[in-house]
Structure 1
Amino acid sequence: MLRDGGLTPRTLVPDVPLHYSGFIPENFDRRFRGAVPARDALAWSLNVPAVKMLQQYGTPRFHSVLRRWGLTTVDRPAGSYGLTLILGGAEGTLLEVTGLYAKLAQLAVGAPGGGSEVRFLRDEPVRRSAMALDGLGPGAAYLTLEALTGVNRPDEEGFWKKFSSSKWVAWKTGTSYGLRDAWAVGVTPAYTVGAWAGNSDGEGISELSGLSAAAPILFAALNRLETGGAIGKPARALSGLLVCRDTGLLATDLCPTVRVDMPRESRFSRVCAYHQWVHLDQTRRYRVDSACESVERMVHESWLVLPPVMEFYFRKYHPEYRSLPPFRPDCGGSLQAETGRRVMNLVYPEPNTSVYIPVDLDGQPGQVVFEAVHRDNRATIYWHLDEDYVGATRDFHQISLRPDPGEHRLTLVDESGRRIERPFRVLK
């Protein structure tokens, strides 16, 4: 997606609850961060942003890329994997996975002849690699590896950047579905090393993970090798791009800016829409407009405004994030004009969602938990199903309902009369 212009390394990717026809991806730590830069989502192995990016990129397209790049074990139709394709839902041999990472490094450094194949043993003959990462250039390869140098190291390697003798390594871990396989691959200028841990019969192991089981083996091997310093930046394959420091999108006049490296052939064009002018009173505690405050007394400030559901999780990890101030009580017109979508979101159901009613242990239909978020932590939300009032929530906006099969409409209204609506279907 870097080369295609889909994102920059700093572009914020949503990390919020997702539902795809019964598939509910979770991060390994079962937390949501609201939004994370793309490079951090990759380095931290966050499943939810990965699924969101695959949904945007397209599963059939990604499936085709993996096949072209030499993963022979991806041998079923794309639809049989679905969005799990990016979460370890497909098989892969350690040799082929390690070979892909080696090819990534060889592409980044411009290895002549396309580089060489990964070998099991030192005395194996060196052969030119048959893998070809077509569609990926040196710039995108380097930026991917650069992101993977930011992964937290296991145990004594955890603070490797503080020591001048530490070795440069871009690395990634993974854990297959069912906790059957743990792997780790590390890339250096001189070597690419892959490590696997698990049962030979494929039986899952409780608490198995790539970080705890395979990464220590990887670093034990790397510490015995002369790895060749660091992979240098391919300056001719990169160009600078001025983006919003907070969102990683093209900067506007309202954004604090930072320059990032991008593949030279990329045509990134997404403009930041999250920074907005906010008009405050002299106390800076309330928003105002010309109906309740003179323009001369207003304080105008650029403000980062994330969508409510992203903000709800984002501010837990970013205490510096400032929620929008409320409108001053005498600015009633502006308060009424503010749409519900600016202050609250439905977490579930998402747009165009089909809802499944669970079956309880007694065989009777269960209830579905609907969830919403509001910018104001103290707000009360009034819930309506098909125009019938079903309850109110405060602080934690979750409500359990048992709608009949068919088409429905959920309506949420807060104390100020702002409302959002969401149609959904209940399957039989």
Structure 2
Amino acid sequence: MRRLAAVLALAWAGQVGAVPTPEQVKTAYRASDVQLLDRHGVPIDALRTDMTVRRAPWVGLADISPATRLALVHAEDRRFMQHDGVDVGALGKAAWDNLLRTRARGASTITMQLAALVDERLRAGAGGRSWGQKWDQARVARELEAGWSKAQIMEAYLNLVPFRGELQGIGAASQGLFGKAPSGLNQAESAILASLLRAPSAAPRVVAQRACLLAREINPAAKCAGIEWDVAAAFSRPSASAAQTQAPHVAQRLLKGMGTGTARQVRSTLDAGIQRDAADTLRAHLAALRERHVTQGALVAIDNDSGEIVAYVANGGASEVDGVLALRQAGSTLKPFLYQLAMERGWITAASPQDDSPLEIATAAGPYVPQNYDRQFKGWVSTRTSLASSLNVPAVRMLQLTGLERFHARLRALGMASLSEPAEFYGFSLALGSGDVSLLELANAYRTLANGGLHGGVTLLPRAPQPKTRVLDAKTAFIVGDILSDRAARSLTFGLRNELATAFWSAVKTGTSKDMRDNWCVGYSEKYTVAVWVGNFDGSPMWDVSGVSGAAPVWRDVMERLHRALPSRAPAAPPGLVQQMVSYQPALEAPRREWFVRGTESAQLTLVGTAQRRSAIVYPGQDGVIALDPDIPAGRERVVFRAQGAAGLSWRLDGVALGAAGAGHAWQPVAGEHELALVDADDKVVATTRFSVRGAPAGAARP
């Protein structure tokens, strides 16, 4: 046998042939998926382009578990580190065993197997390899050993060898069978993979037996029961991509159409951590809303300066619809742009009184009668309160002021190309968001507010800085942002405690479409704009879901995730703005400091004529509920009663006189049911409202 080995060695040495270099093999290698990377190079998704085989990206030897390398050598080629490509001793033993035994034994080294993997002419046919193929296989193995290191041979072999079914290479096999990277394979999993090499299609029972024997040869203390369980679990796993699936719709959008010969990785602007947390937050909230018939949601987060999308959650449920691009009715989210337009034209200021009283507009389709969300009217309120508290009737009056076509053109200039019908198609209900827009369009329009009126495109691919175009006046864009950040101004509708409040500066607006089919929350901080939609893709209505209970909690949680270690400061006022105290006569709202475009400021606004036609309690509203804030020290919390047309009137609470109603009254809330009244000089009741206070003050015992 030694004489035969010597003769073979001389014959192989005389053969001359070119074998590929490690670099050529690695360059020619193609993963079956095109990978989507995040902005830091972390894989977050993939799109399969080769349906004949499943291959993961090339895995370096240092990223493969030492247990796997040990199991492989022990099972396939124990003298791998000693031979020069052909193990003559193993060859002779195999020939002797094959002569005397009925069970055939192979003698191919890892290097010989690699030779067949890199040269298809050396691969076995239906009847096995011919003697010529075997000769050439041994020759090529010797040449590989002469030009490659052992580490390079091992690495290439593990990336090219088939394991089971369509799984080729250690990366695909590790992810497909065990759901982990090759670096995390343990001893039992490594034994299973090594046992598959000789018989990739073997039955689970056979694989488990072989793996058990191999594991015990390596470590006598190995437990076969655990291996049997691992085999059963591995073979029952559904086929999965080697990459994590965190942004499937983005992968489809960016990777579709890329052939097998093109680049196999595409870097996006997404942030893997933010994307994962945003998706988890959305799914958790949808689960909490399931009983209210809310099944779907979508979210997008954009860097204000660059326009780079850092999170794109197209679908919070089980659907292929891209909720970031789907068109839905915008609800009240369009109101900030309506009020900004009127301010920009100089028709109103943030302090201007707005009339929230019944309105009927004659149209070709019949009378249009807008209603507020709570179907109540607040009377006269300021622009600030009207926008922040999202009152509908004043918004429709504002659209009458600005003009339907002018507002429609402004929305189109903000990038809402989906509003493609003529302005008349939408009618005055456009003020309340009757037009269909996408979440991405809406988010980028709010990003324009965040950028002081400068508009630019968004991107999912890294790019050089892009110039922005001024679409909104900077001064009035700032005032609108200040209104949307004003917790007190929104309290008329939402209360002081709600899901819109963040621990840092932010401006935000909610919206709910007709019949409660869509719920939105869109807002921005100094750094990011975040937009959230929840609803149902089939258009069915939700059940009792408002702006603060639907999309707002997700918006707040994602915003807080983005600003976990990042401050958000209020923007600096641009030139041309002044801030001064303003008061009302009669006192429809308490005196306050207000922002004005220079030249429009006024210290006092007096309501005349129809402005004084009726007196009413503005806050608390009828049957309203006030929740005590447990974070405010006992005895420090106050509720401010507000009224319109209150000149000469007084407050009376639960039969007890409180004083003049002209400037409001700061009342220390007491839990329970209450009745508030406006009374005139003759003690005649002019207006009443019943409300309740719930909760316990700070420091009180709680169940």
- Note the 1:265-276 alignment, pairs <5 A: 272-274=605-607
Deviation at 1:206, TM superposition (A): 2.7
Gaps of 5+ in 2: 1-341, 622-640, 650-678, 688-703
Secondary structure of 2:443's aligned partner: helix
1:20 aligns with 2:20: no
The residue number in structure 2 matching 1:263 is 597
What per-residue deviation string (whole Å, max 9, x for no partner) do you get for residues 208-234 of structure 1?
333211001101101111253223222
Deviation at 1:321, TM superposition (A): 5.0
- Note the 1:300-315 alignment, pairs <5 A: 306-309=611-614, 311-312=615-616
The residue number in structure 2 matching 1:7 is 348
Question: How far, CA to CA, are the matches of 1:156 and 1:234 in structure 2?
Answer: 25
Return the structure number with greater relative CO, CA threshold 8 A, min gap 6: 1
Gaps of 5+ in 1: 109-113, 250-255, 277-304, 326-374, 379-394, 397-428
Secondary structure of 1:216's aligned partner: helix
Q: What code does the residue aligned with 2:612 have?
A: P
Q: Which structure has the highest strand share of the two?
A: 1
Deviation at 1:61, TM superposition (A): 1.5
Query: 2:412 is matched with which residue: 61, 67, 70?
Result: 67
Question: How far, CA to CA, are the matches of 2:435 and 2:361 in structure 1?
Answer: 18
Secondary structure of 1:103's aligned partner: helix
Query: 2:572 is matched with which residue: 233, 245, 252?
Result: 233
Deviation at 1:323, TM superposition (A): 4.7
Distance 1:130-1:207 versus aligned 2 partners, 3 A rule? farther
The residue number in structure 2 matching 1:182 is 519
The residue number in structure 1 matching 2:260 is none
Query: 1:43 is matched with which residue: 388, 400, 403?
Result: 388
| Higher Rg of the two aligned structures | 2
What TM-score does the superposition give when structure 1 sets the normalisation length?
A: 0.57
Q: What code does the residue aligned with 2:613 have?
A: P
> Conserved in 2, the CA contact under 8 Å of 1:115 and 1:128?
no
> Conserved in 2, the CA contact under 8 Å of 1:14 and 1:34?
yes
> Conserved in 2, the CA contact under 8 Å of 1:182 and 1:214?
yes
Question: How far, CA to CA, are the matches of 1:158 and 1:246 in structure 2?
Answer: 31
> Conserved in 2, the CA contact under 8 Å of 1:11 and 1:248?
no
Deviation at 1:141, TM superposition (A): 0.9
> Conserved in 2, the CA contact under 8 Å of 1:102 and 1:187?
yes
> Conserved in 2, the CA contact under 8 Å of 1:107 and 1:138?
yes
What per-residue deviation string (whole Å, max 9, x for no partner) do you get for residues 92-144 of structure 1?
10000000111111126xxxxx475445x6xx32566687452x222111110
Question: How far, CA to CA, are the matches of 1:314 and 1:187 in structure 2?
Answer: 29
> Conserved in 2, the CA contact under 8 Å of 1:116 and 1:127?
no
> Conserved in 2, the CA contact under 8 Å of 1:27 and 1:48?
yes
Secondary structure of 2:516's aligned partner: coil
Q: Which structure has the highest helix share of the two?
A: 2
> Conserved in 1, the CA contact under 8 Å of 2:415 and 2:444?
no
Question: How far, CA to CA, are the matches of 1:156 and 1:261 in structure 2?
Answer: 22
Distance 1:91-1:273 versus aligned 2 partners, 3 A rule? same
What per-residue deviation string (whole Å, max 9, x for no partner) do you get for residues 253-310 of structure 1?
xxx986632234x65799945379xxxxxxxxxxxxxxxxxxxxxxxxxxxx94314x
Distance 1:322-1:213 versus aligned 2 partners, 3 A rule? closer
The residue number in structure 1 matching 2:476 is 140
- Note the 1:122-141 alignment, pairs <5 A: 124-126=461-463, 132=469, 134=471, 136-141=472-477
Q: What code does the residue aligned with 2:642 have?
A: H
What is the count of residue pairs matched by the alignment?
284
The residue number in structure 2 matching 1:415 is none
Question: How far, CA to CA, are the matches of 2:505 and 2:375 in structure 1?
Answer: 30
1:150 aligns with 2:491: no
The residue number in structure 1 matching 2:646 is 322
Secondary structure of 1:174's aligned partner: strand
Identical columns (%): 30
> Conserved in 1, the CA contact under 8 Å of 2:586 and 2:606?
no
Question: How far, CA to CA, are the matches of 1:140 and 1:210 in structure 2?
Answer: 25
- Note the 1:368-407 alignment, pairs <5 A: none
What per-residue deviation string (whole Å, max 9, x for no partner) do you get for residues 303-328 of structure 1?
xx94314x356598635853569xxx
> Conserved in 2, the CA contact under 8 Å of 1:37 and 1:248?
no
What TM-score does the superposition give when structure 2 sets the normalisation length?
A: 0.36
Question: How far, CA to CA, are the matches of 2:446 and 2:587 in structure 1?
Answer: 26
Question: How far, CA to CA, are the matches of 2:551 and 2:578 in structure 1?
Answer: 36
Distance 1:321-1:307 versus aligned 2 partners, 3 A rule? closer
